[in-house]
Amino acid sequence: MVFIKCSGNIEYLVKFYNSLIKLGYCKSKKPVLNKIISKKNKIIYYWKAETFYSTQFEWFYKIFYKCDIKTIPLNIKEYLTPLSLSVWYLDNTGKLYISNNQCFNLNNKNLDYIVQIFKDIYNIDIYYKLESKGKVAFYVENQSFNNFSRIIKPYIPCSLQSKLNNSHNKLTMWSNLRLSSSKSINSLMQNNIKYYSTSAKDIKYSAKYKKDYMLTDIQKEALLGIILKPLTPSRLYSTSVEDTLINNNKLLNLEGNFIAGFTDGEGCFRVRISKRNERKTGWMVEPIFQIGLHKKDLSILQLIQKTLGGIGSISSMSKEGVKFKVSSIKNLNEIIIPYFMKYPLLTSKQVDFELLKKVVDLMNQKEHLTIEGIQKFVSIKASMNLGLSEELLVAFPDVKPVLRPSTNENKIEDPNWLAGFISGEGCFL
């Protein structure tokens, strides 16, 4: 039996494939990602995965299909877990194949039942609308969206969490697919390929090529990070350290002082000032909070990112390194600065944090839009950990570094800070 998954987001595709591996449904090797371009110039990726044996999906078929017609089972409450809700939420705009065959049997009683389940299990209010081509759309009520977002966010890849930030509240059921053999699926694909192009030239020169086709660092990491260890028939789950950290709800968030201690050990606060001819001042200012680690410790960065609400990005820093970076003024203003004011740093990095805070304050006042303001930023950067580059020294030869604030004599009062600092800087011999 062949399972096909499509999406415009590679990180999500690989994460979904990982789930099938952990459940023992398919071989633990990297999927071959194919690319097509839709008539709206959107790049779509998809993979096919063969299950170990066809009976693995029989239970699924028997629950959701009656005489090849998809229905809503009475025990669907058992399957509407937070993970399944997140998959439903992310998949609601996907439509790779088109079929004119009616294969979805829904009535108002079924739909009302789903509405009631959301209320009973999660205290979420939803309503539904019948749309064209057999499509049913469920909408999360505004007053319930924050609760809905909180429930599914831990299962949403960071690169797709913008949907939650934009309050996208739609869940869709499509009526154009039925469970089929690999032969009929391939036939269906060929019958509908006219809507899409697989030409490399068309993909390369499409309007959205740079945005959708060129992989971001985090998407590359997702492709490299797929689990490759084979699973034994008696163990259909993973017990790796990374999976334990990420999937164990008790360890989903790190304690605040632990992150402060870890940042004192491995983090940095810096300001990038780079030449940009398109800017009015000729310069761009970018305040940055960053933590860099060896790629084997990627799971720690993922935990930190989750604890901070999914902000920032995780990407490759070198051949063996990865980094978590936050440079958005909004995220620095609303999350990073308040966080380290609540959980203070205890080393000299406290000074760099104060200087970065001053940079953000000046940017809030639009100082980065004037050449006089740029000079202020250069003076601040001159007092920070990395100092000035040769380019800045040549461009601003008369710069005077601001007075570097003195560090407070802080005592270690919270063992979590010490645990975080040792995790970053310590060793046991």
212 pLDDT tier (thresholds 50, 70, 90):
very low
Tokens of 207: 């309007």
Q: Give the span between the Cα atoms of 115 and 127, in whole angstroms.
A: 7
Nearest to 132 by CA among 69, 176, 92, 194: 176
Asked if 301 and 424 touch (Cβ cutoff 8 Å), the reply is no
24 pLDDT tier (thresholds 50, 70, 90):
low
* Predicted local confidence at residue 367, as pLDDT: 93
* Predicted local confidence at residue 373, as pLDDT: 94
Three-state DSSP at 6 gives strand
- Name the CA dihedral angle for 203, 208, 210, 214, rounded to a multiple of 10 degrees: -50
Nearest to 68 by CA among 106, 104, 98, 93: 104
Options 3.40.50.720, 3.10.28.10, 2.60.40.10, 3.40.50.2000; CATH of 247-425: 3.10.28.10
Query: CB count, 10 Å around CB of 120?
Result: 10
208 pLDDT tier (thresholds 50, 70, 90):
very low
Q: Give the span between the Cα atoms of 268 and 385, in whole angstroms.
A: 8
Average pLDDT rounded to a whole number, residues 162-173 = 75
| Kind plus residue range of the DSSP H or E element containing 293 | strand 283-294
DSSP 143-181: HHHHHHHHHHGGGS-GGGTHHHHTT--EEEE--S-----
252 pLDDT tier (thresholds 50, 70, 90):
low
* Predicted local confidence at residue 272, as pLDDT: 92
State residue 296 phi and psi, 5-degree precision: -70, -15
Asked if 357 and 342 touch (Cβ cutoff 8 Å), the reply is no
Average pLDDT rounded to a whole number, residues 162-188 = 55
Q: Who contacts 233 (Cβ-Cβ below 8 Å, separation ≥6)?
A: 24
**Highest mean pLDDT range out of 7-11, 18-22, 318-322, 327-331?**
327-331
* Predicted local confidence at residue 175, as pLDDT: 45
Q: Residue 128 above 90 pLDDT? A: no
Q: What's the full length of the chain, in residues?
A: 429
What would the pLDDT profile of 36-63 be if each residue is shown by its tens digit? 766 566 677 777 776 655 455 566 667 7
Portion of the chain with pLDDT greater than 90, in percent: 24
Portion of the chain with pLDDT greater than 70, in percent: 67
DSSP 321-374: EEEEEE--HHHIIIIIHHHHHHS---STHHHHHHHHHHHHHHHHTTGGGSHHHH
CA dist 379 to 370, 388, 405, Å? 15, 9, 13
Q: Give the span between the Cα atoms of 1 and 50, in whole angstroms.
A: 6
DSSP structure class, residue 405: P
* Predicted local confidence at residue 214, as pLDDT: 45
Q: Residue 378 above 90 pLDDT? A: yes
Q: What share of the chain is helix, strand, coil (3-state, %, to 5)?
A: 45, 15, 35
Helix intervals (H) in 23-77: 58-64
Strands 2-7 vs 283-294: parallel, antiparallel or unpaired: unpaired
2 pLDDT tier (thresholds 50, 70, 90):
low
* Predicted local confidence at residue 60, as pLDDT: 67
* Predicted local confidence at residue 249, as pLDDT: 43
CATH topology identical between 71-178 and 247-425: yes
Q: Residue 219 above 60 pLDDT? A: no
Calculate the average pLDDT of the chain. 74
Q: Where are the domains of the chain?
A: 1-68+181-238, 71-178, 247-425
State residue 324 phi and psi, 5-degree precision: -105, 125
* Predicted local confidence at residue 188, as pLDDT: 39
Average pLDDT rounded to a whole number, residues 90-99 = 50
CATH number given to 71-178: 3.10.28.10
pTM exceeds 0.85: no
Nearest to 69 by CA among 61, 77, 81, 78: 61
Q: Give the span between the Cα atoms of 185 and 178, in whole angstroms.
A: 9
* Predicted local confidence at residue 247, as pLDDT: 44
Ranking 10-19, 233-242, 246-255, 358-367 by mean pLDDT, the lowest is 233-242
* Predicted local confidence at residue 371, as pLDDT: 92
Asked if 36 and 198 touch (Cβ cutoff 8 Å), the reply is yes
* Predicted local confidence at residue 268, as pLDDT: 93
Q: Residue 377 above 70 pLDDT? A: yes
* Predicted local confidence at residue 382, as pLDDT: 92
Residue 164 or 280, more confident: 280
Q: Residue 190 above 90 pLDDT? A: no
Ranking 182-191, 198-207, 379-388 by mean pLDDT, the lowest is 182-191
Tokens of 103: 């294969």
Q: Give the span between the Cα atoms of 302 and 221, in whole angstroms.
A: 12
Q: Residue 412 above 60 pLDDT? A: yes
Q: Give the span between the Cα atoms of 49 and 361, in whole angstroms.
A: 51
Q: Residue 263 above 90 pLDDT? A: yes
Tokens of 24: 């023992």
CA dist 101 to 176, 333, 344, Å? 7, 52, 61
Ranking 135-139, 177-181, 270-274 by mean pLDDT, the lowest is 177-181
